[in-house]
């Protein structure tokens, strides 16, 4: 039997759906004014010199592009979330004893057809430094208490059912947990698919790699392993970001931008913009320079050239 979600929970879940096919809203996109963008970053005078530099040199960050017809902001009205609004939202932050991020594999991950879970864990640990990241033993799909449906390309797993099931699986020391799978997802019958979905309040999420490596929805052609990895770590950190209470970004081209399709995922960068970076710093308390070094090392080792170029440039400007 399907568990019904409360209206409040449904609203929270819809806020952070990624990659849609089925729900069409109409929105009028408006370019953010420079003064509003600066205000969204907030007063940086009390930040330590490293962090102050990390949210400065704003010319290094590309402004949010006007959305194309199929893009997220063309169909979703989002007012944005400034740093001040984030603080006032009362977002839950990690604390001693609940400071670990968990990755839970659902089903099998075949060699060569899916990203390495160890790579995903390493990137997530660098991105949310100094949080700990752990990969849990895989759970068979038959053991997930969620509806499924069949499509011409194979099975789809109901993402909202999966979220409810995950709530009871959250380890006691977890700040948040994301389930990852190679099976396609759908949130309700009227939607074609969704890349991922997460719950802010319950700190659980699920996302699928099925469309990231050129299989489902990708024309059947395998994509380069670097591109598949880049797509995967973008959405993994995006989803975890929501569980830190961070909403979609409208200020810059940012890892926290909403995405309706793979093309939009590909043009969004690996990095968080100054507004979102301040939110993650508040939650995690990282050293900006140490975080950038760890992310640079990962990008260089895995051949993620754009990310490596960005983090190297930022490090060169740090005090």
- Round to whole Å and give the CA distance between 194 and 19: 5
Q: 274-284 and 34-41 are packed helices; what angle lies between their axes, rounded to 10 degrees?
A: 10
Please count the CA atoms within 13 angstroms of the CA of 140 that sit on its side-chain side. 2
- Round to whole Å and give the CA distance between 124 and 239: 11
- Round to whole Å and give the CA distance between 298 and 302: 6
CA dihedral 4, 6, 9, 15 (to 10 degrees): 90
CA dihedral 194, 199, 203, 206 (to 10 degrees): -10
| Residue 268 neighbours by CB distance under 10 Å | 21
Structure tokens at 51: 């962090």
- Round to whole Å and give the CA distance between 21 and 211: 13
- Round to whole Å and give the CA distance between 284 and 151: 41
**Token pair 């759908």: residue:** 186
CA dihedral 264, 268, 273, 279 (to 10 degrees): 60
Going by C-alpha positions, the residue among 244, 317, 247 that lies closest to residue 95 is 244
- Plot region of 218 (φ>0 → left; ψ -120 to 50 → alpha; else → beta): alpha
239 catalytic, yes or no? yes
Catalytic residue among 239, 264, 300, 305: 239
Q: Which residue numbers are catalytic?
A: 239
């Amino acid at each position: 039997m399907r568990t019904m979600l409360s209206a409040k929970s449904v609203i929270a879940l819809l806020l952070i759906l990624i990659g849609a096919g089925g729900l069409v809203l109409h929105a009028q996109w408006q370019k953010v004014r420079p003064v509003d963008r600066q205000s969204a970053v907030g007063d940086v005078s009390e930040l330590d010199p490293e962090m102050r530099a990390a949210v400065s040199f704003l010319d290094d960050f590309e402004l949010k592009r006007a959305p194309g017809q199929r893009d997220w902001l063309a169909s979703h009205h989002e007012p944005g979330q400034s740093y001040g609004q984030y603080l006032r939202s009362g977002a839950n932050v990690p604390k001693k004893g609940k400071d670990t991020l968990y990755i839970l594999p659902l089903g099998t991950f075949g060699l060569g057809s899916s990203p390495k879970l160890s790579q995903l864990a390493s990137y997530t640990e660098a991105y949310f430094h100094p949080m700990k990241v752990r990969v849990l033993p895989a759970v068979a799909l038959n053991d997930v208490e969620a509806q499924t449906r069949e499509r011409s390309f194979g099975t789809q797993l109901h993402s909202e059912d999966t979220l409810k099931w995950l709530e009871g699986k959250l380890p006691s020391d977890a700040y948040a947990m994301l389930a990852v799978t190679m099976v396609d997802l759908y949130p309700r019958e009227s939607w074609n698919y969704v890349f991922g979905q997460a719950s802010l309040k319950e700190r659980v999420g699920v996302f699928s790699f099925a469309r990231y490596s050129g299989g489902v929805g990708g024309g059947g052609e395998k994509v380069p392993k670097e591109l598949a990895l880049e797509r995967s770590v973008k959405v993994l950190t995006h989803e975890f970001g929501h569980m830190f209470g961070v909403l979609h970004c409208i200020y810059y081209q940012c890892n926290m931008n909403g995405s309706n399709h793979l093309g939009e995922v590909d043009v969004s960068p690996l990095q968080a913009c100054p507004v979102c970076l301040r939110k993650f710093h508040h939650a995690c308390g990282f050293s900006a320079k140490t975080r950038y070094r760890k992310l640079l090392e990962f990008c260089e080792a895995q051949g993620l050239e754009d990310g490596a170029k960005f983090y190297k440039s930022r490090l060169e400007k740090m005090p």
